[in-house]
Amino acid sequence: MGITSHYADGEAPGARETTGARDETDEHVVIDPEMRRVYAELARVAATQLPVLVLGETGSGKEGAAEWLHQQSGRARARFVRVNCASLSESMVESELFGHERGAFTGAVAEREGYFAAAHGGTLLLDEVGELSLRVQAKLLRVLETGEIVRVGSTRPRQVDVRLVAATHRDLRMLVARGEFREDLYFRLDGLSVTVPSLRQRRSEILALAQLFLRRTARQFGRPPLGLSEAAEALLRDHLWPGNVRELRNAISRAVALCSGTVLDTEHFALASSPVLPVPSGPPDEPERDVAPGPRGGPNAGDMRGELRAFELARILAALERAGGNQTRAASLLGVSRRTLTNKLNAHRIARPRKDAKTGASTSGTRPAVSLGVRRVSGE
């Protein structure tokens, strides 16, 4: 099968294209047995046109799995186009996906090729597909059923030849049950479903990934080969990595920037001791469900989950305080989306800050838990 190693980058926001063969320095890491199983599943369908649904926490490597699938397919010499659906504004999402004609709306001074047309002959990854509105979901379903797109401002259908891969950190079946995701679209997307495990579920890969990022970062910074002290290795092994591979990559980049020598030590890493855990996709009163659940039911599993939730709460409150109550800034500090933070606030029953009518300052009552006015709602 040829999978000796693979993907280390997590997912980056925005839309991105790659064409043709990858750079010879683009190394990858796959050691964990579950990750090998994921890629074995992908290898079996690489030569088909079957849609693939990739599940997993944010930053765990869903984009890498999708791009590897593209590289193993007959479309490898064509484009791989990745779109983060969560970053598309509702007013422009149709134009971004399907394109528009000149004069279709105010500001449309020229016709535009959408992402489907850009991926013609190749593969289109719709990352965070669960964030699309029901209206856009209906249009996406039509494209999948007909193989045609219609630009905004046009009535003429255009044929597109695209292999679609969808990815999400959310439980689409639960969204279907809640009426937030179309069941018919879910079944169209779910030709094959694979779940990329979180980094804390594949700890055997942490140091190999860290060494990979060290090599890449050293090349980028024009530095000599770099290493890790034993203490730094232990620190990386023990961290929970709530941001998964992306957090590890960023931690290595920061550490390299702070290190003037050739060996990175613990002092060069600023890892939070209070992780933000993967967001449950259900409402706060439902049991928490991971997209990629690990082993459960050990003698101390309940205590551990309780401790982790307490750590998570502390980090959320700290981020909100640093951000002055601004949820968008707090989400950025935590490395999660605004929607994820909102779900977390609801899950922990944290009253969201509201603006004072006179001063415009954030407030949540007379007895705030922290200075910005965030408080826990009683009754748990």
* Beta-bridge partner residues of 158: 149
Query: Residue 44 pLDDT > 90, yes or no?
Result: yes
Burial class (CB in 10 A: 0-12, 13-18, 19+), 273: exposed
pLDDT class for 345, splitting at 50, 70, 90?
confident
Asked if residue 214 is part of any domain, the answer here is yes
Asked if residue 77 is part of any domain, the answer here is yes
Query: 158 with 93, same domain?
Result: yes
Query: 28 with 102, same domain?
Result: yes
3-state secondary structure of 303: helix
CA distance 234 to 82: 35
- The dihedral sign for the CA sequence 26, 32, 38, 41: positive
Query: 250 with 340, same domain?
Result: no
Last residue of a domain, one of 167, 195, 223: 195
Give pLDDT tens digits for 277-317: 444 433 333 433 333 334 434 444 445 555 567 667 777 88
Give pLDDT tens digits for 12-33: 334 555 544 443 334 567 899 9
Query: Residue 354 pLDDT > 70, yes or no?
Result: no
Helix (H) or strand (E) holding 53: strand 52-55
Asked if residue 47 is part of any domain, the answer here is yes
pLDDT class for 34, splitting at 50, 70, 90?
very high
Sequence-distant (6+) residues with CB within 8 A of 316 are: 276, 330, 334, 341, 344, 345, 348, 350
Query: 214 with 191, same domain?
Result: no
Q: What is the pLDDT of residue 285?
A: 37
Asked if residue 335 is part of any domain, the answer here is yes
> C-alpha 346: how far from its chain's center?
20
CA distance 36 to 323: 40
Last residue of a domain, one of 166, 195, 224: 195
| DSSP class per residue in 107-159 | T--S-B--HHHHTTTSEEEEETGGGS-HHHHHHHHHHHHHSEEE-BT---EEE
Tokens of 335: 């490395």
CB 92 within 8 A of CB 106: no
Last residue of a domain, one of 247, 268, 289: 268
Query: 47 with 117, same domain?
Result: yes
Identify which has the larger pLDDT, 217 or 290: 217
Give pLDDT tens digits for 119-132: 999 999 999 999 99
CA distance 331 to 226: 32
Identify which has the larger pLDDT, 229 or 111: 229
Tokens of 262: 């050739």
Query: 61 with 189, same domain?
Result: yes
Asked if residue 278 is part of any domain, the answer here is no
Query: 209 with 178, same domain?
Result: no
Residue 221: give its domain's CATH number. 1.10.8.60
Query: 83 with 118, same domain?
Result: yes
pLDDT class for 172, splitting at 50, 70, 90?
very high
CA distance 61 to 198: 9
Residue 324: give its domain's CATH number. 1.10.10.60
Asked if residue 289 is part of any domain, the answer here is no
Residue 60: give its domain's CATH number. 3.40.50.300
Asked if residue 280 is part of any domain, the answer here is no
Select, from the ranges 69-73, 151-155, 341-345, the one with the highest average predicted confidence (pLDDT): 69-73
Query: 119 with 260, same domain?
Result: no
Least confident stretch, 96-100, 209-213, 287-291, 316-320: 287-291
Q: What is the pLDDT of residue 174?
A: 96
Range of the domain at 341: 301-376
Query: 99 with 168, same domain?
Result: yes
CA distance 377 to 367: 11
Asked if residue 94 is part of any domain, the answer here is yes
Select, from the ranges 125-134, 264-273, 352-361, the one with the highest average predicted confidence (pLDDT): 125-134
pLDDT class for 244, splitting at 50, 70, 90?
very high
Query: 76 with 207, same domain?
Result: no
Mean per-residue pLDDT over the chain, rounded:
79
Domain count, the chain: 3
Position 378, amino acid: S
Query: 186 with 231, same domain?
Result: no
